[in-house]
Amino acid sequence: MSNLIEERYDVVVIGGGPAGIAAAIRATELGLKTILLENRDVLGGIPLQCVHPGFGLHYFKEDLTGTQFIHRFFERMERIGVEYITSAHVHSIEYRDYMEKVVNTITRKGVLRLYSKTIIYTVGARERTLFEIGVVGDRPDGIYTAGEAQTMMDIYGVLPGKDVVIIGSGDVGLIMARRFALEGARVKAVIEIMPYPGGLMRNVVQCLRDFNIPLLLSHAVISIAGKKRVEKVTVVKVDEGFRPIPGTEFEIACDTVVIAAGLRPNIDLLERLSIAIDPATGGPMVNELLETSIPGIFVAGNALVINDLADYVVEQGEKAAEGAKIFIENSGIPAEEWKPVKRGRNIRLAIPHYISGERSVTILARVAKPEQRVFVEVPEVGYKTFHMAVRPAEMIRLDLSKDALSKAEKSVTIEVKPIAYRA
């Protein structure tokens, strides 16, 4: 029959970015037979092309560039001896039974059938495209997603264009605006459909204000024009419902459009296994050890939820590896009951989706709209912290102890409550 190469593992980690590398290191440290698979010819994922600082402040208590940050993990990998393959593309995942999955992997040496008790899925996100955000008009050259433009500039040294309009003011858009400005390109504007910036405040200041780059809030690019190359974009002001306000259209001449309109968890392989998806995150539903609705398949990093910081991504990778260890030792994650984490007032998303109450848990949540002077509360367990401001761009992190969580009976609710107005 078939003479495909077969191997057996405790853990197969799919995706060699920060989440996958952290997961593979931790799993190997825990004594699990682990292999890390990466599609590109190098490990490292997106941080490789991030020459800006802001990485590692939580994890290493140091301000590192993306490249420095990821190199720290390369050193660890080497020390511990993590097994990995690059230029390895996962063709499909087969779920055979509770303790056996197969990861079919295409490599230059042939197709590998990797049998594994667990899988940690860390393939990251993809960028939303022009067509997903409803831009019409011509389709000339000179339109790039932010990630593609960053790869061109910081891996291959190619300047994509000179007069740039950036769609989206998330961190990716802000950082690319500065990156273009540093290379001598003119960033004509950053266009944001929301009434507030989508990225961290420090990035608004350091990337736009310091370079005099205009940020147009409550505006949208509605069409692109150009024969060979982009020649201009048409921008319009939008109302609270994001509908274009007639008569407010104006044009910006440019040769380049960079789309930084957000990321979507890349879950194609999991979707084909009919995994449960959370519409709010676009990623899988998970329990406190980041196990998905399919037993023994864990997910971490931007494939789980779009994170603000690579530091969080690394923590998720490590958490998933600990989950894999518990899963293998107990033939499943032991929990008497899974209690849902509910989204209360002004909470758009929260990770994880289920908790047992038997372990300490870090909850990451995002608000739906910005607010000032609020309490973030979990009423069932008596958790309450004060925040000067909450913004959709910045994840709220709640560290809940096992003791506190044991008080929750049926569920826990995350909610944001304004301080009562004092006259």
Binding site for another protein (CB under 8 A): 2-4, 39, 87, 89, 91-92, 104, 106-111, 113, 126-127, 129-132, 134, 136-142, 144-145, 147-148, 151-153, 156-162, 183-184, 222-223, 225, 227-229, 255, 268, 271
- At 113 the three-state DSSP class reads strand
The minimum distance between CB 89 and another protein, in angstroms, equals 4
Amino acid occupying residue 159:
L
Match 């107990």 to its residue by tokens. Answer: 330
State yes or no: cis peptide before 265, omega within 30 of 0: no
The minimum distance between CB 104 and another protein, in angstroms, equals 5
The minimum distance between CB 258 and another protein, in angstroms, equals 11
Name which of 255 and 315 has its Cβ closer to another protein.
255
The minimum distance between CB 100 and another protein, in angstroms, equals 17
Neighbours of 28 (CB within 10 A): 23
Name which of 130 and 309 has its Cβ closer to another protein.
130
Q: What's phi and psi for 383, nearest 5 deg?
A: -90, 135
- Cα–Cα distance between 111 and 390 in angstroms, integer? 48
Q: How far is CA 280 from CA 193, 313, 349, 367, in A?
A: 19, 18, 6, 11
Name which of 30 and 93 has its Cβ closer to another protein.
93
The minimum distance between CB 157 and another protein, in angstroms, equals 5
The minimum distance between CB 152 and another protein, in angstroms, equals 6
Alpha-carbon torsion (129, 135, 140, 141), positive or negative: negative
Report angle CA 75, 155, 128 to the nearest 5 degrees.
105
Q: How far is CA 382 from CA 376, 404, 413, in A?
A: 11, 8, 11
Tokens of 327: 């899963």
The minimum distance between CB 264 and another protein, in angstroms, equals 9
CA 42 to chain centre: 20
- Cα–Cα distance between 32 and 259 in angstroms, integer? 41
Name which of 3 and 212 has its Cβ closer to another protein.
3
Name which of 37 and 376 has its Cβ closer to another protein.
37
223 contact partners, CB below 8 Å, separation of at least 6: 135, 136, 137, 233, 234
Name which of 92 and 330 has its Cβ closer to another protein.
92
- Cα–Cα distance between 237 and 403 in angstroms, integer? 50
Name which of 220 and 361 has its Cβ closer to another protein.
220
Name which of 134 and 418 has its Cβ closer to another protein.
134
- Cα–Cα distance between 190 and 132 in angstroms, integer? 18
Name which of 4 and 201 has its Cβ closer to another protein.
4
Helix (H) or strand (E) holding 84: strand 83-85
The minimum distance between CB 156 and another protein, in angstroms, equals 6
Nearest to 84 by CA among 16, 140, 135, 30: 16
The minimum distance between CB 78 and another protein, in angstroms, equals 24
